[in-house]
Amino acid sequence: MLSTENNARLTKVSLGTPMGMLMRRYWTPAAFSSEVAERDGPPIRVRLFGEDLVLFRDTSGRLGLIADQCPHRLASMFFGRNEDNGLRCVYHGLKFDVTGACTDLPCVPPVVPQVMESMQKSLRTTAYLCVERAGLVWTYMGPGEAPAFPDLEWTLLPENYRYVSRHIQECNWLQALEGGFDAPHLTFLHAGDNPDPTRGIVPSFYEVAACDFGFIVATGRDFGKETISWNLNVMLMPFHKIISTTPHAAHMWVPIDDANTMLYSIDFQPHRPLNETEIVRAESGDWIHSENLPNSDIGVRNKRNDYLIDRALQASGKSFTGLKGFGIQDCAIQESMGTLVDRSREHLLPGDAAIIKLRQLLLQALRDHEEGKPIPGSDPQSYRVRSIRCELPRDSNMAQLITTLVKADIAPTT
């Protein structure tokens, strides 16, 4: 259980909120590069941390992510004309470049240049810096200078070494992230189509540690052998997870607003292109990726159709849930808790130890940020880690080993 106040601190992400301000200190994925591939092509809508924005690529190939509302009389820039190195509002013709500067003000009668200059200055719009990595457009929405881009392994690989998809989860980001670090649910929610041999045994050991990139959650299962089967999962600030599976996988739970999350899911192979079997599985909707409605980020299986639950399949025992796909099982259950779960009403159990610790560490990160202390993940190289599975002797001291076990020999930037 969490106090209502701390629940709000951890979950709310709009401008000025503690978590919203902390998250803005990191690079955030805004769109696929392919959505704005064309210079002077149509702008697209982007919503991040409750802010409505539009993204466009200008005549010179630069990316602009600016406020959706024109600063003149607040019309939507989505309808704008993308022309000659700027986006022009179609209401009265004001034009903005990728830095947010008003570069043309055609709707006023001729005035002396100084007056025009000062009017244009007062009409500057919000604009956020963008870079492209791994087929995505990323933005920095925080104060001051942008940090170096983190060395996330899957972003450093050639394009055909990874498969990236996304879909919208209609719930708060923290519900989705907590689901990613909730070890006991693997035994139940994903049972039936879970190839994990640890299925059927819930973890007995938990170790959670704060570290330079974020947190590590280690869960140990006891199969009655001489060793304990450990699963170490890394949470990289502020919303990344690397999954210990084959091929490797990753998630990013990016807040659209308090009630919606863009879930990016990635499969990747560090040393070779993904093969056909891996691509077929990724595209099937059986794995972590969602099959979406045409030209949308909404799953074919969504809350309005009860995720096409198959009760006969559920009754057959072949699937615990009757829901197709790991990703949709998670999505369905996380959305079923409500758009923003009231954690003051929970009744937590011993198996929730990792979740409790994760919340405490996130609250600590918020306090540190508010006090001006360093935040995790400032060193881009600290992201060179992987989630892993390993067998360790029963008397191993996980508290001591935890940070060294996840360090990975990740190839240098290509």
| Binding site residues, Fe ion, CB under 5 A | 330
CB of 76 to ligand FES, least distance (A): 9
Gyration radius of the chain's alpha carbons: 23
Sign of CA dihedral 236, 239, 242, 248: negative
Binding mask 356-375 for ligand FES (x = CB under 6 A): --------------------
The answer to the question of residue 91 lying near ligand FES (CB under 6 A) is yes
Q: Which of 8, 75, 101, 363 binds ligand FES (CB under 6 A)?
A: 75
CB of 190 to Fe ion, least distance (A): 6
3-state secondary structure 340-398: CCCHHHCCCCHHHHHHHHHHHHHHHHHHHHHCCCCCCCCCHHHHCECCEEEEEECCCCH
The answer to the question of residue 70 lying near ligand FES (CB under 6 A) is yes
CB of 202 to ligand FES, least distance (A): 57
| Chain centroid, CA 314 distance in Å | 30
By the 8 A CB rule, do 65 and 52 touch?
no
Q: Which is nearer to ligand FES, 73 or 318 (CB)?
A: 73
The token duo for 388 is 């892993």
Q: Which is nearer to ligand FES, 72 or 81 (CB)?
A: 72
Q: Which is nearer to ligand FES, 32 or 91 (CB)?
A: 91
Q: How many residues does the chain have?
A: 414
Query: How many residues belong to the site for ligand FES (CB under 6 A)?
Result: 9
**Alpha-carbon distances of 44 from 32, 52, 146, 184, 334, rounded to whole Å:** 11, 11, 23, 40, 28
Q: Which is nearer to Fe ion, 125 or 219 (CB)?
A: 219
Q: Which of ligand FES, Fe ion, none sits in contact with 182, Cβ below 5 to 8 A by type?
A: none
Question: Could you tell me which stretch among 84-92, 112-120, 230-238, 254-262 binds ligand FES (CB under 6 A)?
Answer: 84-92
CB of 296 to Fe ion, least distance (A): 23
Any idea which residue has 């790991």 for tokens? Answer: 326
**Residue whose C-alpha is closest to residue 369's, from 25, 50, 13:** 25
- Residues near ligand FES (CB under 6 A): 70, 72-73, 75, 89, 91-94
